[in-house]
Structure 1
Amino acid sequence: MKKLFMSLFSTALRIATGLGMIAIYTNALSFEKFTHLAIGLLCAQITCIFVDGGVNNEILRSARLESTAQNTKRLYESMAARLAVSTAIAICLVIYNLVTTTLDNTVILLASFFSGILSSINETNLVNLKATNRFKDELIKSTTQSVLIISISCIVFISPTLAALSILSPRIFTTGILLRGVGKNNLKKIRNRISSKSVFGYYTRLKHYTLDSIFSNLGAQLDAILISVLIGKEAFAIYQPTSKVLSSSLNLGGVIGALVIPKATTLHSDKNIKYYLLGSFFVFGLVVAVLFFVFCNYFLSILFGSMYSPGLDIEIILTFMIIVRFLAAGAGSYLTIKGQQKKRAIINAICAVSSVIFTVMYSFLYDINIEVILNILLISQIVMMFFYVLSVVKYAEPVLVD
Structure 2
Amino acid sequence: MLDLRDYGIEMWDKDKIEAFRKALLDWYDANKRDLPWRRTSDPYAIWVSEIMLQQTRVDTVIPYYESFLHRLPTIEDLAQAPEEVLLKVWEGLGYYSRVRNMQKAAQQMMLEFNGQFPKAHDQILTLKGIGPYTAGAIASIAFQLPEPAVDGNVMRVLSRLFEVDHDIGIPANRKIFQAMMEILIDPVRPGDFNQALMDLGADIEAPVNPRPEDSPVREFSAAYRNGTMDKYPIKAPKKKPVPVFFKGFIIRNQQNQFLLEKNTSAGLLSGFWSFPLIESEPVAQNELTLFQVVEDPHIESPQYTFEKEYQLHVEWKLRNFPTVQHIFSHRKWQIELLEGIVTDKGESLVTDKEMVWVSPEDFHQYPFAKPQQKMWASFQSTLK
The TM tier, using the shorter chain, reads under 0.3
Query: Normalized per residue, which structure has more strand?
Result: 2
Q: TM-score, normalised by structure 1?
A: 0.23
Task: Name the larger-Rg structure.
Answer: 2
Query: Normalized per residue, which structure has more helix?
Result: 1
